[in-house]
Structure 1
Amino acid sequence: MKNEIPFLQSTTAKLIMIGMLTLVLFVPLAFVQNLIAERSLRKQEVISEITAKWGDSVLLYGPIIKIPYTAHYPVKNATETITETEYAYFFPEQLEGHIDVNTTEKKRNNYEAVVFSSAMKFNGTFTKPDFSSKGIAPEDIQWDKATLLVKANNLKSIKDGMKIKLGEKVMAFETATNDPVTFVSTLETPSFSISEYFTDEKIPFNFNVAYDGSRELKIVPIGKTTSVSMKSNWQTPKFTGYFLPGGNEKKSDNAGFEASWKVLDFNRPFAQHYFGDFPELKDYSFGVDFIIPVDEYQKNERASKYGFLVIGLTFLVFFVIQSISKISIHIFNYTMIGLALVMFYTLLISITEHSSFLKAYLIAGISVVLMISLYSLSILKSKKFAIFIGFSLTALYTFIFVIIQLENYALLAGSIGLFAILGLVMYFSRKIDWNAIKEEN
């Protein structure tokens, strides 16, 4: 009868200890992920400081005709009425916009933010305001107190003021109100007599505005027919908002992008004119987000999420080699290897802040692979096993790097890759006689 081996020296005990060590190593891995999140938060704070000085996101829509009128309201249980001044708002019949956006990257220390300068040109036509739908008497309409409105945010970043040419008259906009909730301000011209302008059924207008901003630029399609074209040097636009550009007209390449929108009045959920309160329209805007699809910190975060996979598969490779070669690997050796794998992510985040993610990944990956390969050579006493471990780690880090770069196919590539890795492990471990290993131990 063969002597029974102590439990702590059995294969089962070794597997349990390796599993527990893997779980313990998740603690420093979690600290690394917290570090990445902290550095990413710091980056957002720096970006906010930069954009606050340069200019925040841009929202603009107008012009809008505003005409006061006298409204009569009956008094309850009385024959007389009270009068109040109300306002009617009329949107353009045609609105065309041509927008050129030039983006640049502003850097501070190790951080960078995307900002832009835009030149916007708008033109179109108004039709004569019609009050007949509300039954308002002509004598109650205050034609001589009409004004033009433009709604906008981020007013401090408007360059050279803003003027509009209505027919042959040029008028300047001034700040009328600021909404503390939506942060959308109202720019308004001085009052003028609008009746003298509509000798014809339509009157043309045009206005230009130069705007600095960051993150996004949006327009609200207030024209009965709104046509907007945008051109920019930014290579990774994200078209956003209530409407997307025309599929055949959108183009994005290494030189930037060109896009155009055409919106009709029955495509949108708001009317062409309003009496009384002015509606909130910012939710129906469209435009572009000037974003970096996956920034350096996002890549670091995604890489760290595969830390459990790297640690688990590396330990599995060492355990299989140990089982095949009959070489005893102490739990201390596993601990050193695990810590080296965790150090990969601290190297990655620290080098990334002073270089590109690709260079940081190469430097950190080569350093860790060489360290573990040389360490395995000293404990396994075999060049072929050390080379195999180095090759396995290189393949694993390459696989993770490819997944990180993918956006739309990351899940698919990751699932196929993990399936292939599982198949390889099953193939190389298929002939191991675990009972024989237990007896020899």
Structure 2
Amino acid sequence: METQNNNLQQNKFGHWLKTSITARMLMVGFLVIILLVPLSYINSLINERAFRQKDVVNEINKKWGNDVLVYGPILKLPYKTYSETKTFNEKTKTYFKETQTHIKYAYIFPEHLNATVDVNSKTLKRGNFESAVFTTTMDFTGNYIPVDLTAKGIKQEDIVWNEASIIIKTSNLKGIKSEVQIKLEDKAYSFETNFNQNTNSRLDVLESALIKNEDLFKTKNTPFSFSMTFNGSRQIELIPIGKTTTMHMNSNWADPSFMGNYLPNDETKSITKDGFKADWKILHINRAFSQQHLKSIPKLSQFAFGTKFMVMVDEYQKSERSAKYGFLVIGLTFLVFFLIQTLSKIHIHPFQYLMIGLALTMFYTLLVSLSEHSNFLKAYVISGASVIVLITLYSKSILKTFKFPIFIGLSLTGLYAFIYVIIQLENYALLVGSIGLFLILAIVMFVSRKIDWHNG
């Protein structure tokens, strides 16, 4: 008797599930929530692959050469300071004074700094990932004006003119591919590495041999010139320490991203598929530091400007943005099947809903895996077409007609096309998405107006 009651209750529940609109809505909503679990795993997969790409790119760059930042040339000029000590003599019962001499350094920036930068860029691949690397030759010219430190409280006779040197700081000591020599008037001075004990600084120090010429920097303009050749990656930056700083950059890279506090001149900037040319000019009035510094070289990396050379690989970002619409795709697809089931009285089993939902989640794993071997558009089309064909054919076996499966296929095609447009947009993504969702809501309201919601 008890068994019969249980069977009767199960039959009533099954009948209620088949005939009740409320029951079907609850079932569809529950399945959508269940499918959020595999969607979360897919988002984790996308993030994992994106981190893997960053690790591989960093490894490639580390072996080839890191980003390039040049801070120099800086004139290092020693000067004397004095201190007095008093000593009491017990025998004479008097004090006598002793003067001690100390050597300190002033750091002088050039009056003009002109840089001509030629960059030969290429991509290096490792597996499915690639990184932008380059070889650059940077030619520098400029001049120092006669140094006068009296405003800093330093007398001219206290400056040790014949022990001056030149300092260049760079972020890519490993990537230097040629000897560095600076030419002052007609004489060249070589550089050696000066070990940087400041572990918090990303810049290494090159210092020239002592410039044993008292006439330089003291009474006349001193022109200079030097060249540096780097193997580098990611970006090239220059700190504008000249009272007037100019830089001309020429490269075969077609996708530059200009960075830093100063942008190139629009009048002379040129970007084509074969590369780009850009010119910068920064005046001392454009930056908040002086030309003379005592005690130490100031940290001025925040004033750097230049160009970023990045491979325009944003497949993972696009895949991640696409996966964020997974809930919308599953929800709207289930809504289409729900409306078809309600209007046509065709029964669709919860298991069949689940299979359709899993097929929709497979789109994102296909998209991520294919985009690693092809461009994003091709991967998106292949993944979308595969899922649409699979669900359309499966719908044919469920709905026993051609009309509804074709409608479902067209709906999915329009939905995936709509999402692709959204993820390609930046400034208008919210506007287009809002309009699209409004139109979808209007269509659903129009189609569902004939459903008798009170009957179930």
Equivalent residue number for residue 146 of structure 2 = 128
Equivalent residue number for residue 139 of structure 1 = 157
TM-score by length of 2: 0.90
Equivalent residue number for residue 92 of structure 2 = none
Equivalent residue number for residue 182 of structure 1 = 201
Equivalent residue number for residue 270 of structure 1 = 289
Q: What do you get for the CA RMSD once the two structures are aligned?
A: 2.0
| Mapping of residues 272-287 of structure 1, within 5 Å | 272-287=291-306
* Alpha-carbon shift at residue 76 of structure 1 (Å): 9.1
Deviations 1:373-423 (A, max 9, x none): 011111111211111100010111111112222233323322222222222
* 8 Å contact from structure 2 (residues 183, 226) kept in 1: yes
Query: Which segments of 5 or more consecutive residues in structure 1 lack a partner in the other structure?
Result: none
Q: Secondary structure, in 3 states, of the residue corresponding to 2:224?
A: strand
Equivalent residue number for residue 257 of structure 1 = 276
Equivalent residue number for residue 46 of structure 1 = 56
Deviations 1:233-253 (A, max 9, x none): 222222111222223333323
Letter in 1 for 2:369: S
Partners of 1:351 and 1:388 lie apart in 2 by: 27
* 8 Å contact from structure 2 (residues 86, 98) kept in 1: no
* Alpha-carbon shift at residue 74 of structure 1 (Å): 4.9
Equivalent residue number for residue 241 of structure 2 = 222
Deviations 1:100-152 (A, max 9, x none): 22221110111111111111111111101112112323332111100011111
Residue number among 177, 189, 200 corresponding to 1:159 in the alignment: 177
Equivalent residue number for residue 46 of structure 2 = 36
Equivalent residue number for residue 308 of structure 1 = 327
Deviations 1:206-240 (A, max 9, x none): 11111111111110000000011112222222211
* Alpha-carbon shift at residue 197 of structure 1 (Å): 2.8
Partners of 1:143 and 1:72 lie apart in 2 by: 17
Equivalent residue number for residue 88 of structure 1 = 106
* Alpha-carbon shift at residue 18 of structure 1 (Å): 0.7
Letter in 2 for 1:310: V
Partners of 1:139 and 1:126 lie apart in 2 by: 19
Letter in 2 for 1:36: I
Counting aligned pairs with the same residue, the percent is 51
Q: Which moved more, 1:103-112 or 1:412-421?
A: 412-421
Partners of 1:417 and 1:172 lie apart in 2 by: 65
Q: Secondary structure, in 3 states, of the residue corresponding to 1:204?
A: strand
* 8 Å contact from structure 2 (residues 131, 310) kept in 1: no
Q: Secondary structure, in 3 states, of the residue corresponding to 1:222?
A: coil
State whether structure 2 residue 400 is matched by structure 1 residue 390. no
State whether structure 2 residue 389 is matched by structure 1 residue 370. yes
Letter in 1 for 2:102: E
Task: Name the CA shift for 1:285/1:275 in 2 (closer, same or farther; >3 Å).
Answer: same
* 8 Å contact from structure 2 (residues 81, 101) kept in 1: yes
* Alpha-carbon shift at residue 200 of structure 1 (Å): 6.1
Partners of 1:348 and 1:20 lie apart in 2 by: 26
Residue number among 213, 222, 239 corresponding to 2:258 in the alignment: 239
Partners of 1:123 and 1:411 lie apart in 2 by: 49
Task: Name the CA shift for 1:37/1:279 in 2 (closer, same or farther; >3 Å).
Answer: same
* Alpha-carbon shift at residue 294 of structure 1 (Å): 5.0
Task: Name the CA shift for 1:425/1:248 in 2 (closer, same or farther; >3 Å).
Answer: farther
Deviations 1:14-71 (A, max 9, x none): 1111111101101011111111111111111111111000011111021111111111
State whether structure 2 residue 72 is matched by structure 1 residue 62. yes
Letter in 2 for 1:147: S
* Alpha-carbon shift at residue 310 of structure 1 (Å): 0.7
Equivalent residue number for residue 91 of structure 2 = none
* 8 Å contact from structure 2 (residues 146, 218) kept in 1: no
Equivalent residue number for residue 72 of structure 1 = 82
Letter in 2 for 1:157: G
Deviations 1:77-120 (A, max 9, x none): 99655432110111111111111222211101111111111111
* 8 Å contact from structure 2 (residues 132, 309) kept in 1: yes
Partners of 1:315 and 1:126 lie apart in 2 by: 74
Partners of 1:117 and 1:425 lie apart in 2 by: 58
Partners of 1:66 and 1:295 lie apart in 2 by: 45
State whether structure 2 residue 33 is matched by structure 1 residue 19. no
Q: Which moved more, 1:288-297 or 1:367-376?
A: 288-297
* Alpha-carbon shift at residue 350 of structure 1 (Å): 1.6
Q: Secondary structure, in 3 states, of the residue corresponding to 2:293?
A: strand
Q: Secondary structure, in 3 states, of the residue corresponding to 1:277?
A: coil
Partners of 2:282 and 2:213 lie apart in 1 by: 27
* Alpha-carbon shift at residue 177 of structure 1 (Å): 2.7
Task: Name the CA shift for 1:407/1:226 in 2 (closer, same or farther; >3 Å).
Answer: same
Equivalent residue number for residue 120 of structure 2 = 102
Letter in 1 for 2:183: K
Partners of 2:396 and 2:201 lie apart in 1 by: 64
| Bigger-Rg structure (1/2) | 2
Partners of 1:411 and 1:337 lie apart in 2 by: 28
Equivalent residue number for residue 220 of structure 2 = 201
* 8 Å contact from structure 2 (residues 170, 205) kept in 1: yes
Letter in 2 for 1:169: K
Equivalent residue number for residue 192 of structure 1 = 211
Partners of 1:316 and 1:8 lie apart in 2 by: 17
Residue number among 438, 441, 448 corresponding to 1:419 in the alignment: 438
TM-score by length of 1: 0.93
Equivalent residue number for residue 5 of structure 2 = none
* Alpha-carbon shift at residue 426 of structure 1 (Å): 2.1
Q: Secondary structure, in 3 states, of the residue corresponding to 1:419?
A: helix
Deviations 1:280-300 (A, max 9, x none): 111211111222455222221
Partners of 1:420 and 1:161 lie apart in 2 by: 66
Partners of 1:235 and 1:382 lie apart in 2 by: 52
Q: Which moved more, 1:410-419 or 1:376-385?
A: 410-419
Partners of 1:76 and 1:46 lie apart in 2 by: 64
Equivalent residue number for residue 358 of structure 1 = 377
